[in-house]
Amino acid sequence: MSTATSFSLGRRSILKGRFDGSFALRPPGALGAGLFEEACSHCGDCALECPQAIIVADEEGFPKVDVSARGCTFCGTCAEVCEDGAILSAEGWDVRASVDDTCLSVQGVSCRTCEDHCDAGAIRFRLMTAGRAQPEVSLDDCTGCGACVAPCPSDAISLLRPAPQPSTSQPTASENQNV
Ligand code: SF4
Ligand code: SF4
Ligand code: SF4
């Protein structure tokens, strides 16, 4: 698993908005930024073999993951076919789902689509006034698979990378950036 960013998450962590998304979403298991670009030869094998067809080339020809149509199953195929050692075996990602305010449920329209598509059970809804409900993503339970992104009717979900959390300071929403 990529270790470009490390972070600690409490068992009851709920998405609160501290993220550093200034990165390309490489396949799960990709080496960290810099090392990956040194190792990858642009062969395209991972993109060719990905059963989900979610690996595309970025502007420089390096593979990146695009979950706009479907999510990652963590099947490991991309790591298996990478002969350059740029992608190693991994069970997950250090990205998590984030819901913005365009969410229908937040605006009072009944929707639980993301919850229905989350096999990990990472999305819960906090009831609000006026029939609204705020989806909250458990950072502990979310695998970052991205399966909730495409089905969302309001395109409200992004995958983001939680930034390192200093032990003494609180999260700040200003650091959010989309993948
Ligand atoms: S783990 Fe599987 S589904 Fe995910 S990007 Fe790699 S090949 Fe595609
Ligand atoms: S699927 Fe999208 S619009 Fe529906 S509740 Fe989830 S985030 Fe909101
Ligand atoms: S990214 Fe995957 S695990 Fe996380 S909330 Fe969405 S569907 Fe659930």
User: What pLDDT, on a 0 to 100 scale, did the predictor assign at position 147?
Assistant: 98
What is the block-wise mean pLDDT of the chain (179 residues), using blocks of 10 residues?
32 41 84 95 97 96 96 97 96 91 96 98 96 95 97 96 62 39
Q: What is the sign of the dihedral through the CA atoms of 141, 73, 21 and 101?
A: negative
Beta carbons of 157 and 98 less than 8 angstroms apart: yes
Q: Which residues line ligand 2 (CB under 6 A)?
A: 99, 103-105, 111-114, 135, 152-154, 156-157
User: What pLDDT, on a 0 to 100 scale, did the predictor assign at position 166?
Assistant: 65
Reading the block at residue 28, the tokens are: 């799960």
Q: Say how far apart CA 50 and CA 54 lie, in whole Å.
A: 7
* DSSP code for 32: P
Compute, in angstroms, the gap from residue 46 CA to the centroid of ligand 2.
Answer: 31
Closest ligand to C-alpha of residue 92 is: 1
User: What pLDDT, on a 0 to 100 scale, did the predictor assign at position 169?
Assistant: 43
Domains, the chain, in order of start with CATH, read: 96-161 (3.30.70.20)
Reading the block at residue 170, the tokens are: 């609180």
Compute, in angstroms, the gap from residue 71 CA to the centroid of ligand 1.
Answer: 9
User: What pLDDT, on a 0 to 100 scale, did the predictor assign at position 13?
Assistant: 36
